[in-house]
Amino acid sequence: MTTASTHWMRLLRLMILGLGALLMLFPFFFMISTSFKPQSEVFSAGLSLIPQQWAIIANYSKAMTRIPMLQILANGLIVCASIVFFQILFALPCAYALAKLKFKGREFLFGLVLLGLLVPIHAISIPLYTTARYAGLLNTLAILVVPFTLSVFAIFLFRQFIKTIPDDLIMAARTDGLTELAIVWRIILPNAWPSASAFAIFSVVAHWNDLYWPLISVSKMHLATPPLGLLFFRAAEAGDDYGALMAATVLITAPLVLFFLFAQKLFIEGMTMTGLKG
Amino acid sequence: MTRTDPISRHENRAGLFLVFPTFTLMVLLLLLPTLAVFALSLTDAELGSTTFTFLGLDAYSDLLSDRNFLRAFKNTFIYVGLVSPASVILGLMLALLIEAETDARGFFRSVYFLPVVALVVAMASVWQYLMHPSFGPINLFLNIFGIASINWLGSSDNVLPALAIIGIWQAIGFNMVLFLAGLTGINRDLYAAAEMDGAKTAWSRFWVVTWPMLGPTTLFVITITVINAVKVFETVATLTQGGPAKASEVLLWSIYQEGFVFLHIGTASAMAMVFIVVLLVLLLIQTRLLEKQVHYT
């Protein structure tokens, strides 16, 4: 009796989860299906997911040529990789000092970290933009990276983690003659690797998606990041050519989604870890 | 000034050396810009013009009578009010269902998480197609059940709920994995103990054990969802640009328009300060609630 009812419970649960999964995947199904359809069919064909006539080549070649798609994806990759690199480079020594060393101004510095956790880029974009304008930095790849080289969130996260590293380990390294900077890169970094990779995932997802700052600081097509590139594509596309638009969305969504599908555990653990510590 | 233990000279020097580059960045990229936003908010500065006058708090009192800004404020809160409860409750329900699963757990977790890693601007374009008034699949579905087509993004009554649907779809998976992490932290023995104490049904065990034990996680998920929803920008910029008739005008879109389209950086700075205050209030509420909460662990 009990086993029968648990079976029914499980069936019900799987049905709810399955239905929900279909709802979640619904946009992805239509995105891919529509990217295969000719324009006439998009307007008329109704709910069929399988095209009657295939327009893969027409749609995808429009998506590849109307905007410099590969360049845009490369920009996204370069910008995200540079941001993560500099964020870790600057955050780790600072986090180590905040966690393990006593120095003058430590409280003030930690106050700045908390200020940074509060104030998002959107709120300070006006002075950043004005400064970049006068410095002639607008419309460069550098301006897409520079404002994000400082991540107070990374400092906060790494500080929490480094606090759990035993002092003995650091003392031993000092006895071995390592400088404080060497301790950061040779002792702390290898130990903090799980935190660092979790943060890297979080940061890449955030900056791969960011539209606000690129929209403000870059207006040239060849410097566009994926979200901005798609906005340019939409602007260049006068009518409702949804087939080509969906082909562009497939190409632009694919890299991060594929990365996720190959490294699901890393992604979910990364996002959870950074989420819960934040 | 009393110090319990004196700072060693070596440690002080090492500390200052290690934080110096980051401290410089913090001053340049965070502290000075924040002060500049406040200073600009007291002026009528415009981008490109070299002169400006000091207005004091006038810009703020002007905002109070600026119908567009008030509209943006109200719309943002309606959006937050639609997205947060739905995505938190659905995220929790999914986490509970998936937690109870064995073999299929990883599969469902990945499926529901997928929207989190899909480019927002791209998926907004997909939703625009799905919600198209005449040939959008959502309306075609509704038509099957005899429901008339809905003008989702093009009508001022429907545009915020339509954007909220996209926001909920994006947020559910993230909330779900946060709740899943919270659930794994609950000691299994508590459930057995609750059962002995008379909580015979799964429903009553949820209220006796899961819900109170998840308290800190829930509070955190609510805060992060609200803060992310307050920052809604990508979908608005891609799909509606604040329209139709300002019906989807939200805070960040207003700041963007005022500062970077109309180039009124004085007014935009005052709006940005209001935005910071909104975030500050949200964080203070969270901290206050967190302090009040009973800690079981």
Tens digits of residue pLDDT in A127-147: 999 999 989 999 999 999 999
CB within 8 Å of chain B, chain A residues 52-81: none
Options 3.40.50.300, 3.60.120.10, 1.10.3720.10, 3.10.180.10; CATH for A70-236 is 1.10.3720.10
- Is some CB atom of chain A closer than 8 A to the CB atom of B40? yes
Angstrom distance (rounded) from CA A154 to CA A157 = 5
CB within 8 Å of chain A, chain B residues 55-74: none
**pLDDT value of position A238:** 56
Q: Classify residue A205 as left (phi > 0), alpha (psi -120 to 50) or beta.
A: alpha
**pLDDT value of position B1:** 42
- Is some CB atom of chain A closer than 8 A to the CB atom of B192? no
**pLDDT value of position B6:** 60
**pLDDT value of position A277:** 53
CB within 8 Å of chain B, chain A residues 182-241: 184, 205, 208-209, 211-212, 215-216, 226-227, 230-231, 234, 240
Q: Mutating which of B8, B27, B30 best tests the A interface, going by the most A Cβ atoms within 10 A? A: B30
A contacts of B97 (beta carbons < 8 Å) = 13, 16-17
CB contact (8 A) between residue B126 and residue A267 = no
ipTM over 0.85: yes
The alpha carbons of chain B give a radius of gyration, in whole angstroms, of: 24
Q: How far is A208 from chain B, CA to nearest CA, in Å?
A: 7
In a domain, B112, yes or no: yes
CB within 8 Å of chain B, chain A residues 243-272: 245-246, 248-249, 252-253, 256-257, 259-261, 264, 267-268, 271-272
CB contact (8 A) between residue B125 and residue A34 = no
Distance of CA B268 to the CA centre of its chain: 21
In a domain, B94, yes or no: yes
- Is some CB atom of chain A closer than 8 A to the CB atom of B79? no
CB-closest option in A43, A116, A215 to B30: A116
Give pTM, 2 decimals.
0.90
A contacts of B13 (beta carbons < 8 Å) = 103
Sorted by sequence, the CB contacts under 8 Å of residue A166 that are 6+ apart come out as: none
Summarize pLDDT for A182-237 with one digit per residue, the tens: 999 999 999 888 889 888 988 999 999 999 999 999 999 999 999 999 999 888 87
Q: Which amino acid is at B169?
A: W
Sorted by sequence, the CB contacts under 8 Å of residue B288 that are 6+ apart come out as: none
Q: How far is A36 from chain B, CA to nearest CA, in Å?
A: 14
**pLDDT value of position A155:** 92
CATH number of the domain residue B239 falls in: 1.10.3720.10
Alpha-carbon distance values, B124 to A254, B74, B115, B255, B277 (Å): 15, 22, 11, 21, 29
B contacts of A20 (beta carbons < 8 Å) = 94, 112
pLDDT at residue A1 is higher than 50: no
Cβ contact B232:B252 at 8 Å = yes
**pLDDT value of position B53:** 80
Alpha-carbon distance values, A121 to A201, A274, B114 (Å): 19, 19, 26
**pLDDT value of position B297:** 44
CB contact (8 A) between residue A268 and residue B169 = no
Each of the 297 residues of chain B gets a pLDDT tens digit; together they read 444 456 688 888 888 889 999 999 999 999 999 999 999 999 888 887 777 788 878 888 888 888 889 999 999 999 999 999 999 999 999 999 998 887 888 899 999 999 999 999 999 999 998 998 888 889 888 888 988 888 899 888 999 999 999 999 999 999 999 999 888 888 888 888 888 888 888 888 888 888 888 888 898 899 889 999 999 999 999 999 887 888 999 999 999 999 999 988 888 999 999 999 999 999 898 888 877 765 544
CB contact (8 A) between residue B113 and residue A267 = yes
Domain extent, residue B79, equals 73-292
Confidence of residue A239 (pLDDT cuts 50, 70, 90): low
Summarize pLDDT for A73-121 with one digit per residue, the tens: 999 999 999 999 999 999 999 999 999 888 888 899 999 998 998 899 9
Tokens of B163: 């954007």
Q: Mutating which of B12, B27, B29, B283 best tests the A interface, going by the most A Cβ atoms within 10 A? A: B29
B contacts of A35 (beta carbons < 8 Å) = none
Kindly tell me the sign of the dihedral angle through the C-alpha atoms of B10, B15, B16, B17. positive
Summarize pLDDT for A2-46 with one digit per residue, the tens: 567 788 888 888 999 999 999 999 999 999 988 888 887 777 767
Angstrom distance (rounded) from CA B4 to CA B9 = 16
Q: How far is B157 from chain A, CA to nearest CA, in Å?
A: 23
**pLDDT value of position B87:** 95
**pLDDT value of position A278:** 45
Kindly report, as residue ranges, where domains of CATH 1.10.3720.10 are found in chain A: 70-236
B contacts of A226 (beta carbons < 8 Å) = 119, 121-122
Domain count, chain B: 1
- Is some CB atom of chain A closer than 8 A to the CB atom of B174? yes
**pLDDT value of position B295:** 53
